[in-house]
Amino acid sequence: MSKITFLGAGSTVFAKNVLGDCLMTPALQGFEIALFDIDHERLQDSANMLNNIKKTSGSTSVIKSYTDRKEALKGAKYVVNAIQVGGYDPCTITDFEIPKKYGLRQTIADTVGIGGIFRNLRTIPVMLDFAADIREVCPDALFLNYTNPMAVLTNVMNTYGGVRTVGLCHSVQACIPELFKSLGLEKEGVKAKIAGINHMAWLLEVTKDGVDLYPEIKKRAIEKQKEKHKDMVRFEMMLKFGHYITESSEHNAEYHPYFIKRNYPELIDRFNIPLDEYPRRCVNQISRWKQMREDLVNDANLTHERSHEYASYIFEAIETDVPFKIGGNVMNTGLITNLPREACVEVPCLVDRNGVTPTYVGDLPPQLAALNRTNINTQLLTIEAAITRKRDHIYHAAMLDPHTSAELSMDDIVAMCDELIEAHGSWLPEFS
C-alpha cells in the first residue's frame, strides 16, 4: 500500500482540502493517508473529518493517525508539510508586538521582514528534524512544503535536509483569476507566464489569442487606483515597475520600503494597508473554530469537492504519467539567470512519472530581478543564521530587509533582534 503522510494534520481545514482531494482522486485509491500532529485532539478531529469524507465518497484509502512521527513517515511515498511552529500565542504575538515598540509595523509577517526572519529561525530546526527522519525511513519520498516562510524552508530542506522538496503556494493559481475579476476582464482563454520568487513572482506575460493584455490591464488599473480597493499596493507596483505580482497587497506592502513608513503615515490610508492583519485573522479563526469544528468534524454526511490545491494533482500526475503543470518553488540552479543560484525560485514546472521538473526561464526584466534580490538577501542571511547559529547573521538578515532597514537604525535593529531572541526563549535554538 502506497502512503501519503501529512505533517501538521491538526490544520483541519487545510487537511480537508489537500487530503479530501486525495480521497476523491481515482489514481490515489488504496493509499494509506497517515496523519501526524503534536496536538492529539486536533489530530483526532482531522481523522474523524477525513473518515466522514471517506464514507460519503466511497474512497478505498485508509486513514490512520500517528503520535510517533517516524512511524507516520515510515515508507511514505509522498509527504505534505503544513506545520506552524509557535502558533499565534506566543510566537506570532511576539513577532508583532516587540517590533511595534521600535516603531516597526507589519501586516502579515510570515515571509521576510522581522516576523519572517524569526518564524524561519524557530521553524528550521523542526524541519531539519523532519529531514533526518525522512532520510532514515522514507529517503525517496517527495516532500511538498506548504509552510511559510516558503522560500527559506524549501531551500533548507533541499540544501541542508537532503530531501527532495517542492514548495507550493496558492498565489500562482490565484493570480490571473483575482486580477481579471478585479478589473472586470474575462479570464477564459488567457495564457500567462509567471516566475520570480515566492510571494514576489511576476506576471511576465499575459495574452489572449496572441494579443498582449498588459496595455488594457494597466489602463483599467489606473482608473481603479482612483478609488480605494484592497489591491492598491500591487497595482501601484505594476504601474511603477511594469508587471503584476502574484501575492496580495497586504503581503507586498511589507516586502518593499515604499509603503509602511512612520514619516509618511498618510501612505497607510492612501494604499489601504491593513496593519496587524495576520493577528486579526488568527483571532477570527480561533473564535470561529467552535462552529467550524461542529461542521467539519461531527458531520457524518460531510462531502468534499476537489479543490485547486496542487498536491493531489501532483500525486496523480506521478502515478498516471499524465502531465500536469504547476508553479513550484525549487532551487534555482540557473533557471532564472539573473537571480542567485543558491536561491529558491518560483517557476513553471512539469509533473509526470519523472517527478517535478522545473522549466528554464532565463533573465527576468532587470528591475524585477533587482526587487527579488532585495528579499533574497534577507532569505540567504536567515539561512546562514539558522545553520551557523551565529547571532550576527540574524542582525545581518534584518539589516538587509528592505522594510526594516528603511524604518530603523542599525543600533535599533540589533536591539530589537536581541529582545526578540530573548522573548522567544525555548522556541529558538541558542545563538552565539
- DSSP string of 184-247? T---TTEEEEEEEETTEEEEEEEEETTEE-HHHHHHHHHHHTTS--TTHHHHHHHHHHSS-BSS
Tell me the mean pLDDT in the region 156-175. 97
Q: Which backbone phi and psi does 362 adopt, to 5 degrees?
A: 90, -155
Query: Is residue 290 scored above 90 in pLDDT?
Result: no
Q: pLDDT (tens digit, 9 = 90+) per residue, 240-249?
A: 999 999 999 9
Per-residue pLDDT band at 287 (split at 50, 70, 90): very high
Which residues have a Cβ under 8 Å from the Cβ of 248 and sit 6 or more positions away? 171, 231, 234
Residue percentage of the chain with pLDDT more than 90: 98
Q: pLDDT (tens digit, 9 = 90+) per residue, 328-378?
A: 999 999 999 999 999 999 999 999 999 999 999 999 999 999 999 999 999
Query: Exposed e or buried b for every residue in 79-101, given b needs 16+ CB within 10 A?
Result: bbbbbbbbeeeebbebbbebbee
Which pLDDT does position 432 carry in this prediction? 85
Which pLDDT does position 206 carry in this prediction? 98
CB 29 within 8 A of CB 60: yes
CB 102 within 8 A of CB 248: no
In this structure, which CATH number among 3.40.800.10, 3.30.70.260, 2.60.40.3880, 3.40.50.720 belongs to the domain 3-87+110-167?
A: 3.40.50.720
Domain ranges of the chain: 3-87+110-167
Question: What is the average pLDDT score of the chain?
Answer: 97
Q: Which three cell numbers stand for residue 274?
A: 491593513
Q: Which three cell numbers stand for residue 412?
A: 535599533
Per-residue pLDDT band at 52 (split at 50, 70, 90): very high
pTM above 0.85, yes or no: yes
CB 117 within 8 A of CB 95: no
- Among residues 170, 199, 256, 424, the one annotated as catalytic is 170
Window from 31-45, 126-140, 264-278, 287-301 with minimum mean pLDDT: 287-301
Residues 357 and 326: their CA atoms lie apart, in Å, by: 10
Catalytic residue check, 170: yes
CB 353 within 8 A of CB 378: no
